[in-house]
């Protein structure tokens, strides 16, 4: 099959404002794909349910996630953008797949193991705070992927295992009932390496070192000015590869700008304050347009809701087709 005929599926959890690391590591590839491939893009509100138990927050974060994807340039001509929970067939396929998913597979899930490890480290019961939504998360994700006949799933490296589980489960089904499901392929964004946060460690909400994507300009500037640096003086030559400022700049600049900035580090004469201002200007000029569009959409959530409903109307018949086939094979 030609690459361009492949169906792409992207799920985004509505768990609050994504940060620059999320953008570079996952969202960017997913958004670029919408220019070339038919894409099912949904806000995974059911997945958020295992950790967020406040309906209003889920609803708001769902709008936020949808607005961000639109504002960052998801091509709505090729994209069916919808809310996961609006498609009743997802609950059905989830239940059906439960019955051919080995429990042992779920035991191996990184996210579940991480939750257990944290409990053990804290001296708590291993299962403390772990609900079945978290435990069976990969089955619901498999249902997402298989429901829409997906070929390709662009994801961050942390989600690769989940897509591999979807392949496994699709394989079990096909083996038992006949070749129904395509085996999805995870596509990890270009080798981005680790995106550093303000303190130089991997950018992550759990380290509280992130630069959120949609901040008012002056808050973005404040964040960037807070990047931790070493104590080299302005005149000292600096190694760009050891600098968080440079590592972030690389993802938003052209080849020649990157080479020039690296040279300014090596040559000496540029203080970190100046380097941060250059980084701010670069990121800000990238984000200014999306930020305005994001704010416009968030002030018009009715418009977002209309887009999501429109998407649901297109996604649902595809889901219904899959469920009809699966039910017939499993239940007669």
Q: Which residues bind ligand TRP (CB under 6 A)?
A: 9-11, 13, 44, 47, 141, 144-145, 153, 155, 159, 162
- Least distance in angstroms from the C-beta of 54 to ligand TRP: 18
Cβ-proximal residue to ligand TRP, closest one: 11
H or E segment and range at residue 154: strand 152-155
Q: Which CB atom, from 65 or from 214, has the smaller least distance to ligand TRP?
A: 65
Q: 18: which 2 tokens?
A: 């994504």
- Least distance in angstroms from the C-beta of 232 to ligand TRP: 37
Q: 51: which 2 tokens?
A: 């950790």
Q: Which CB atom, from 9 or from 68, has the smaller least distance to ligand TRP?
A: 9
The span from the CA of 182 to the CA of 158, in Å, is 22
Q: Which CB atom, from 187 or from 320, has the smaller least distance to ligand TRP?
A: 187
The span from the CA of 96 to the CA of 180, in Å, is 14
- Least distance in angstroms from the C-beta of 290 to ligand TRP: 20
Q: Which CB atom, from 35 or from 51, has the smaller least distance to ligand TRP?
A: 51
Alpha carbon distances (Å) from 53 to 59, 268, 310 = 11, 52, 27
The span from the CA of 9 to the CA of 138, in Å, is 15
Residues 94 and 140 sit within 8 Å (Cβ to Cβ)? yes
- Least distance in angstroms from the C-beta of 13 to ligand TRP: 4
- Least distance in angstroms from the C-beta of 48 to ligand TRP: 9
Q: How many residues does the chain have?
A: 332
Q: Which CB atom, from 14 or from 200, has the smaller least distance to ligand TRP?
A: 14
- Least distance in angstroms from the C-beta of 138 to ligand TRP: 9
Q: Which CB atom, from 140 or from 287, has the smaller least distance to ligand TRP?
A: 140
Alpha carbon distances (Å) from 40 to 74, 125, 162 = 11, 39, 18
The span from the CA of 160 to the CA of 29, in Å, is 14
């Amino acid at each position: 099959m030609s690459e361009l005929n492949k169906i792409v599926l992207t799920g985004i959890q509505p768990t609050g404002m994504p940060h620059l690391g999320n953008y570079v590591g996952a969202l960017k590839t997913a958004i670029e794909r919408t220019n070339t491939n038919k894409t099912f893009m949904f806000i995974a509100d059911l997945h958020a349910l295992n950790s967020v138990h406040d309906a209003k927050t889920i609803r708001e974060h769902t709008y936020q996630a949808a607005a961000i994807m639109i504002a960052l340039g998801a091509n709505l001509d090729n994209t069916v953008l919808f809310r996961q929970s609006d498609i009743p067939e997802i609950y059905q396929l989830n239940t059906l797949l439960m019955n051919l998913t080995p429990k042992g597979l779920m035991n191996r899930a990184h996210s579940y193991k991480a939750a257990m490890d944290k409990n053990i480290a804290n001296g708590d019961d291993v299962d403390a705070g772990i609900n079945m939504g978290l435990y069976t998360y990969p089955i619901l994700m498999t249902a997402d992927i298989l429901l829409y006949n997906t070929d390709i799933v662009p994801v961050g490296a942390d989600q690769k295992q989940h897509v591999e589980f979807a392949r496994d489960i699709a394989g079990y089904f096909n083996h038992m009932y006949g070749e129904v499901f395509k085996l999805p392929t995870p596509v990890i964004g270009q080798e981005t390496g680790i995106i550093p946060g303000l303190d130089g460690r991997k950018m992550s909400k759990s380290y509280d070192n992130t630069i959120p994507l949609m901040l008012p300009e002056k808050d973005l500037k404040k964040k960037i000015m807070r990047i931790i640096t070493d104590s080299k003086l302005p005149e000292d030559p600096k190694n760009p590869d050891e600098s968080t400022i440079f590592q972030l700049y690389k993802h938003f600049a052209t080849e020649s700008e990157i080479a020039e900035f690296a040279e300014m580090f090596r040559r000496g004469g540029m203080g970190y304050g100046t380097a941060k201002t250059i980084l701010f200007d670069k990121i800000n000029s990238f984000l200014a347009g999306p930020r305005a569009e994001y704010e416009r959409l968030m002030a018009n959530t009715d418009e977002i809701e209309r887009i999501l409903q429109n998407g649901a109307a297109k996604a649902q018949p595809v889901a219904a087709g899959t469920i009809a086939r699966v039910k017939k094979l499993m239940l007669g």
